[in-house]
Amino acid sequence: MNNTDIFKKVKEKAQQWLHGTYDEETKKQVHHLLENDEQGLVEAFYQNLEFGTGGLRGIMGVGTNRMNIYTVAMATQGLCNYIKKQFTNTDIKVAVAYDSRNNSKLFAETTANVFSANGIKVYLFDELRPTPELSFAIRHFGCKSGVVVTASHNPKEYNGYKTYWNDGGQIIAPHDKNIIEEVQKITSPDEVKMIGNKDLIEIIGDEFDTIYLAKIKELSLSPEIIQRHKDLKIVYTPLHGTGVKLVPEILKLYGFTNIITVPEQMISDGNFPTVKSPNPEVSAALAMAIAKANETGADLVMATDPDADRVGIAVRNNKGEFILLNGNQTGAVLFNYIVSKWSENGKLQGKEFIVKTIVTTELLVDIANKYKIEYYDVLTGFKYIADIILQNEGKKQFICGGEESYGYLAGDFVRDKDAIIACALIAEMAAVAKDKRKSVFELLLDIYVEYGFYKEYLVNVEKHGKSGAEEIQKMMNDYRNNPPVEIMGSKVVRIADYQLRKEFDKVKETEKNIDLPKSNVLQFFLEDGTKISIRPSGTEPKIKFYFGLKENLASRDHYEQIKNKLDSKFEKLIHTLNLK
């Protein structure tokens, strides 16, 4: 199809939005695009916004390729149709929440109206709430599904729609593909039941927060130590998002009395005016919080993303300077604290387990092995961690789970990453460190001394357009069909191919099956402890290379020396692999 044909098709689709059930403001904006903005018109209508395996995500605006009340309503109608097919002869309940983004409340109310118009009972939060509280609500109220309106840490122009199932986890196979099929059957707002039934919509608010926070309070492992260090200075920022209320509340409930916030960022604002990106993985997002921490002499900095399911932290190093811990480092100190306290408190009975994703640090495996705790590796995505918890329900005890992208969970009453829980336990861990006259940074160094200095790196190689996608696929094919025998003088001793679902031991010359869903991911394990994971992004035009390096650390004093050695090795690796 040439450009002329594409534009003709786009104009025909846009013309349909000038008639029928669309509101007058929408028609006005479509008319403006038709008359004044050819490129904008094409972007808005050249395709339908795709309902993927997790739901919707896209730029807000009019058009079939945009997040608006009509694309949200059509997606919800498809979801309703699937839920009603799955749960016949039963009263169906769902929960709906939303974050601080522009239009999130409107999209959540639209979603609730469509659910209720289809005869489904809806628990709708009265104000913005963290994504993990939506997961908790699904389980608490016995819902069959749930939706949270959020685009996580995407730029302000975006919004999204995450779908959950009755276990409180995000949808996985077979429901993901089946829901997509039902959503694709809805081709017009005329096929959507839009007029809500107010009798089926129940608004939930502060009283439910109290229930949720009480469950998180039960996770505390060292309340007596918090009492000794309740004045620990903690700087917290929600980055204009949904953690604004519940993170300070849970810290107070745990017993902390010296919580310092960043006033400019405590304002819930979908334009995220004080940050370029509301992403706690980005150092600039924590700049104001670190400045406040230096000003007040604080011990710990924590920042949550807009929907408060992920947390980034900054701690003081041995020079007293604040440094950001990456997701693997935070996971290591947090997991080590939780697991060691379970052991110390006599809670380990031999049936406990932890879960991590395959691209997350192997240091977590070493910690699990020390305490004789079972561990699971899953594909990237917290929904797979939730599925492992579900599979083991009633048989084994989940302790904690996490992923390198700053998402963590303890306890099993939530089935998604939870920054409210993580903030509480990270603060508790910092208090325990202080009780031992250590910093969190020194806890990390002690872990490195005991298990080895693990350092992780991520390289994104962007390849745009059709040719870029083909180049990415060729790179994966080359690595898969002609895997390296050695890299920088270190033998490749093991290869995991998640598309073939096979793991190859190159030393023993054996292979075994990988009991995980098929995924286009390759991993190379080297004799010197290096792990290299390669996977194309599912949402962006890039291929990701995850590097996990390891060296022995004789003592804390050798930290800088070994860090520099690992950094140098990493630079040589990416040069060897032609990634720079």
Residues catalogued as catalytic: 152
For tokens 């429901």, what's the residue? 175
d(C-alpha 370, C-alpha 372), whole Å? 6
> Taken in order 575, 356, 151, 217, is the CA torsion positive or negative?
negative
Phi, psi torsion values for 77, nearest 5 degrees? -65, -45
Joined together, the tokens standing for residue 50 give 């795709």
Joined together, the tokens standing for residue 63 give 């058009």
Report the C-alpha dihedral over residues 441, 445, 447, 450, rounded to 10 degrees. Answer: -160
Beta bridge partners of 377: 356
For tokens 């079939």, what's the residue? 64
DSSP 416-458: S--HHHHHHHHHHHHHHHHHTT--HHHHHHHHHHHH-EEEEEE
d(C-alpha 206, C-alpha 211), whole Å? 9
d(C-alpha 47, C-alpha 563), whole Å? 48
Among 111, 64, 56, which residue's Cα sits nearest to residue 83? 111
Work out whether strand 502-505 and strand 510-513 pair parallel, antiparallel, or are unpaired: antiparallel
Contact 453, 562 (CB under 8 A): yes
Joined together, the tokens standing for residue 465 give 């357009």
Contact 527, 537 (CB under 8 A): no
Joined together, the tokens standing for residue 481 give 């069909």
Helix (H) or strand (E) holding 566: helix 559-576
Identity of residue 327: G
For tokens 């628990």, what's the residue? 123
Phi, psi torsion values for 55, nearest 5 degrees? 135, -145
d(C-alpha 418, C-alpha 213), whole Å? 12
Contact 566, 452 (CB under 8 A): no
Contact 420, 209 (CB under 8 A): no
Phi, psi torsion values for 455, nearest 5 degrees? -135, 130
Contact 146, 94 (CB under 8 A): yes
Phi, psi torsion values for 302, nearest 5 degrees? -135, 140
Joined together, the tokens standing for residue 565 give 């050695």
**Alpha carbon distance, N-terminus to C-terminus of the chain:** 37
Beta bridge partners of 403: 407
Indicate the DSSP class of residue 490.
E
Phi-psi sector, 22: left (phi>0), alpha (psi -120 to 50), beta: beta
d(C-alpha 133, C-alpha 194), whole Å? 26
